[in-house]
Amino acid sequence: MSKTFAVIGDPIDHSLSPNIHSAAFRELNLENSYIAYRIPKGELSEGIESLKKIKIAGFNVTIPHKVEMMKYLDKMDESCSVIGAVNTVTNTEGILKGYNTDMDGFLDPFKKKEIKIQDTKILLLGAGGAARAIVAGVAKVKAKHITIANRTLQNANNLTQFANKIGLDANAITIENVGDDLKDYDIIVNATSIGLKNEPSPISLESIKPETIVYDIVYMPMNTDFLKKAKGKGAKIIYGYEMLLGQAVRAFEIWHGIEAPYNAMKKALLGGV
Ligand SMILES: NC(=O)c1ccc[n+]([C@@H]2O[C@H](COP(=O)([O-])OP(=O)(O)OC[C@H]3O[C@@H](n4cnc5c(N)ncnc54)[C@H](OP(=O)(O)O)[C@@H]3O)[C@@H](O)[C@H]2O)c1
């Protein structure tokens, strides 16, 4: 029987998820569909009722509903309860179960490239929802220390407390105080929204070591100024689209219980690059 899936959020027109999941359906000859459904802030309850009426099989959740959606879940996977936000939901006869696949999505490129996070020192820029999933991820694989740098220090402090609570050594600073000496960091991640509008890199990467891993979770544009600067210093790069693919693959596997066609999904995203 064909099933319908969706991504909900606002704005939603530019979401890449319908392309990625539709490519997977085509590759595996599944007669399912995946739609983008705009639900404005404040209308989540009605939106979910409509999805239940059409017997939606599952849906992704994006800005601004990732936290509020928690209220409407009947069950929660640990990934979702630890992070406190949901991006993937299954619907089994009206019972909604939430997952957070951003954490595994973030870790996926490290696994694929066989890069170890264990015992590394990390600089994380940003303290929003995605940063929280990243902190949970690197705590799970036993990073040594994380410095959380954010525009609003209070948000960095809150995330530091969360890191400590789940067993990860952490400290908080403002982005301006990151400084010019980054040799101490093995991994540097941008999890702010800086770059989405082609803004310059939030920090100078002049002092990084060539073996540093520099990861920008912003995926549009693909080549942010942050990554261009890192490439200029010979660093190893991880692109935001790799996390986007990782979270989509994990969502696919939760919904369908079969291995996701990674290459077909990647091709849909990059247009065969
Ligand atoms: N690749 C993927 O799969 C993936 C997955 C999830 C998210 N993302 C991307 O990650 C980014 C963050 O998403 P999110 O869900 O964490 O958003 P969020 O919860 O709204 O957090 C936004 C973060 O960016 C910071 N920020 C925003 N504008 C800034 C500015 N002008 N200067 C300095 N800092 C600024 C905020 O700092 P304050 O605390 O000071 O406000 C906060 O730390 C978005 O671009 C999103 O598209 C990518």
Is the same domain home to 61 and 18? yes
**Domain assignment of residue 181, given as a range:** 103-238
Q: Does the C-beta of 219 come closer than 6 Å to ligand 1?
A: yes
For the CA of 247, the closest atom of ligand 1 is 3
Cα-to-centroid distance, 218 and ligand 1 (Å): 8
Could you tell me if 252 and 230 lie in one domain?
Answer: no
Ligand 1 centroid distance, CA of 234 (Å): 26
The reply to whether 107 and 210 lie within a common domain is: yes
Same domain as 96, residue 32: yes
Judgement on whether residues 118 and 71 belong to the same structural domain of the protein: no
- Same-domain status, 208 and 161: yes
Write the CATH number for 137.
3.40.50.720
In this predicted structure, the answer to whether residue 271 has a pLDDT above a threshold of 90 is no
Same domain, 93 and 70: yes
Q: Is the pLDDT of residue 272 over 70?
A: no
Residue 155 shares a structural domain with residue 196? yes
The answer on 192 and 258 residing in a single domain is no
Residue 236 a catalytic site member:
no
- Same domain membership, residue 96 and residue 9: yes
Query: Does ligand 1 come within 6 angstroms of the Cβ of 246?
Result: no
CATH number at residue 12: 3.40.50.10860
Ligand 1 and 126: CB distance under 6 A:
yes
Q: Is 125 in the pocket of ligand 1 (CB under 6 A)?
A: no
Q: Which pLDDT score is estimated for 180? A: 86
Pocket-testing residue among 106, 193, 194, 227, ligand 1, by greatest number of atoms within 8 A of Cβ:
193
Binding site membership of 128 for ligand 1 (Cβ less than 6 Å): yes
Asked whether 193 lines ligand 1 (CB < 6 A), one says: yes
* 130 CA from centroid of ligand 1 (Å): 7
What is the tens place of the pLDDT at every residue in 159-192? 999 999 999 999 999 999 998 899 999 999 999 9
One domain, residues 233 and 134? yes
Q: What's the pTM?
A: 0.95
Reported as a single tens digit per residue, the pLDDT across 68-108 is: 999 999 999 999 999 999 999 999 999 999 999 999 999 99
Summary mean pLDDT of the chain: 96
* Neighbour-count burial for 144-166, b at 16+ CB within 10 Å, e otherwise: ebbbbbbeebebbbbbbebbeee
Residues 158 and 207 in one domain: yes
Q: What is the number of domains present in the chain?
A: 2
